[in-house]
Structure 1
Amino acid sequence: MGEGTDEGTDEETREETPRVRRRGRTALLIATAAVLGLVGGTCAGYLIQADREPTELPSLSQPVVAQAKGAGPEPLSAAQDRRVKTDGDLRKLLIKRPKGTQEAEYVAGDKGWMGIADYAEEYNRPAGAFGDLVGAEFRRAAATGWTVGAYSVEVRLIQYRQEEKLGASDAAADGRYWANTKSGTHVWAIPGTGDGMAYVHTKPDAKPGYVPVYGAEAHAWRGDIAMEIWIYDTKPIPKAKIMDLAERQMERL
């Protein structure tokens, strides 16, 4: 995708919490029609069967099928089985802090881990976010960060249980939505991620008494893990910075 256009909206009119997709009324009507069709077909079947002569049942004895010789398929190795990697220490999947940088003074969570309460605190309305994260089947999150002077980076991997909902893809979609609400934003697709996107905000966050701060971010997902990257600096952030981090982090997933 090429450079994006400004898509500003009033953020105060919406709650900045994860949006969980719900099944629409159309799906409900289709499901109801299917059930009615099944009941109607079953009743008709009973009426037809009642008028027929009884059919003799086949013998219960069946021929024995010989078992195939040879060993079964080889189990996947740890390198091939993605679940082995993602069910382990999630922090090991985080991109490594580059040489010459300092560990960030503050990264949300504790020792690289973020619980649901820690992650909810990152939203403007933590109480509402907490409830939405429970509904989205939040499992755990890991985070890392570093600084070089005024330049700072934070990377997060958020894992979802995904028993009933596609939490990771929904979370990435939520991040993309809010990134597009900021004016002066340029957008690029992250190669190899399907719908992953990187954003550079060309208009700084300027408040009286503070140095203007520029931002960039990236949102993507793979399997049950959503990725977030945030960059801040007192000068404009090049596209190459956010794209390089996003591509290298997604390669680790």
Structure 2
Amino acid sequence: MSTEPADAAEPGTAAAAEQAPAPPTSVPNPFAPPAPFVPASPSAAGNPFAPPVFGATGPDLVESGAEPARRRRRFGAGALFLTAVLAGPVIGAAVGYAIQSSRPPTPLPALTAPKPTYPAERVDAAALAAAGPPPLNIDGDLRRLLIDRPAGSTDRTDGDGDGWLSAADRAETFGDSEDMFVEMLGNGFRRAATVRWKSGDDTYRVMLVQYVPESVVKAITGMVPSGTSDMDVSKFPGNDESVLLVAKQPYTYARSTETYYYGEAIARKGTVLMTVQVYAKNPVDRAQLEDIAKRQWERLA
């Protein structure tokens, strides 16, 4: 008599029954629409919006919270050229410094300043003065070199009446006084002495103007008018550096409508410029102008 239950199966029957698929409960409809797509849970599949990371073989997904891999930077030709330009001077300076520092120092030449010497004997003051540059050949009081005004004439000396004439007083004797003042200072004006008188209808002015040595030639050149077509130009006897000007036509005074005839004699003695001027109502007496100029020149000589 058997002890196994009546519904007991043979060995392997139960395992076979579990592996055998269950019969379908219904037949699938081939015309049914596909099931809707349901995305996986973010906790299980990671962040669905994370960008893919491309590796050597293809895109790789980045795990949630991980930093994406950075692309390797490549240097172009411009960056390499700039690096060479900047590194070239630095390397050259380093090489030059290394070469120069390894050389022995070059000694500087000795100083060749002459040793001061002093004469053993006493110096003669007269000989020393003679060896130096000569002083101004005309110095002292210029007023003593002026000729005396003729007897019977009226004194009309310019300036303060003491015979000295400043640059401003000298410039006022010209119509364009402002320009003349600037020109005289630029020409090296030093000082001036004058005497002025009136005889009848004629006015005479004798003036000695001293300039610095470097400017006297320029000063006498500027005193000679550039346009002398309306004047008789000559020299007075005994002086080759003189100029004698006598106007052919009358002029008008700067501050009035009165007319006059003009004459002037110019000569230079060293650094002193001599001028003799005449303002006449009638044409200038040339002989009288030459006589005054010659007498003044003889006082300077």
**Which TM-score applies when normalising by structure 1?**
0.59
State how far apart, in whole Å, the 1-side matches of 2:182 and 2:252 are: 32
Report the counterpart of residue 169 of structure 1 in structure 2. Answer: 217
Q: Are the counterparts in 1 of residues 264 and 278 from structure 2 also a CA contact under 8 Å?
A: yes
Query: 1:203-214 residue pairs with structure 2 within 5 A?
Result: 203-205=249-251, 212-214=259-261
Query: 1:93-242 residue pairs with structure 2 within 5 A?
Result: 93-104=145-156, 107-110=157-160, 111-162=162-213, 165-166=214-215, 168-178=216-226, 180-181=227-228, 183=230, 185-205=231-251, 212-242=259-289
User: Residue 87 in 1 paired to residue 139 in 2?
Assistant: yes
State how far apart, in whole Å, the 2-side matches of 1:211 and 1:133 are: 27
State how far apart, in whole Å, the 2-side matches of 1:205 and 1:120 are: 19
Q: Are the counterparts in 1 of residues 158 and 196 from structure 2 also a CA contact under 8 Å?
A: no
Where do 5+ consecutive residues of structure 2 fail to align? 1-114
Q: Are the counterparts in 1 of residues 138 and 270 from structure 2 also a CA contact under 8 Å?
A: no
Query: 1:26-41 residue pairs with structure 2 within 5 A?
Result: none
Q: Are the counterparts in 2 of residues 193 and 222 from structure 1 also a CA contact under 8 Å?
A: no
Larger RCO, structures 1/2 (Cα 8 Å, 6+ apart): 1
Amino acid at match of 1:86: I
**Equivalent position SS for 1:252:** helix
Determine which structure has more spread, i.e. the larger CA radius of gyration. 2
Residue deviations 1:162-181 (CA, integer Å, cap 9, x gap): 2xx23x33222222225x43
Q: Are the counterparts in 2 of residues 113 and 143 from structure 1 also a CA contact under 8 Å?
A: yes
Q: Alpha-carbon deviation of 1:91?
A: 0.9
Query: Structure 1's 152 and 128: CA in aligned 2 closer, same or farther, altered over 3 A?
Result: closer
State how far apart, in whole Å, the 1-side matches of 2:189 and 2:259 are: 34
Q: Are the counterparts in 1 of residues 208 and 272 from structure 2 also a CA contact under 8 Å?
A: yes
Residue deviations 1:17-47 (CA, integer Å, cap 9, x gap): xxxxxxxxxxxxxxxxxxxxxxxxxxxxxxx
State how far apart, in whole Å, the 2-side matches of 1:155 and 1:177 are: 18
Report the counterpart of residue 52 of structure 1 in structure 2. Answer: none
Amino acid at match of 2:293: A
State how far apart, in whole Å, the 1-side matches of 2:257 and 2:154 are: 23
The number of aligned residues is 180
**Equivalent position SS for 1:145:** strand
Q: Alpha-carbon deviation of 1:206?
A: 5.5
The two structures, once aligned, show a CA RMSD in angstroms of 3.6
Amino acid at match of 1:140: R
Residue deviations 1:166-225 (CA, integer Å, cap 9, x gap): 3x33222222225x4361x11221233332111111212268x95542111111111111
Q: Are the counterparts in 2 of residues 198 and 246 from structure 1 also a CA contact under 8 Å?
A: no
State how far apart, in whole Å, the 1-side matches of 2:211 and 2:240 are: 19
Q: Alpha-carbon deviation of 1:252?
A: 1.2
State how far apart, in whole Å, the 1-side matches of 2:135 and 2:276 are: 22
Where do 5+ consecutive residues of structure 1 fail to align? 1-59
**Equivalent position SS for 2:249:** strand
State how far apart, in whole Å, the 2-side matches of 1:171 and 1:121 are: 18
State how far apart, in whole Å, the 2-side matches of 1:133 and 1:212 are: 27
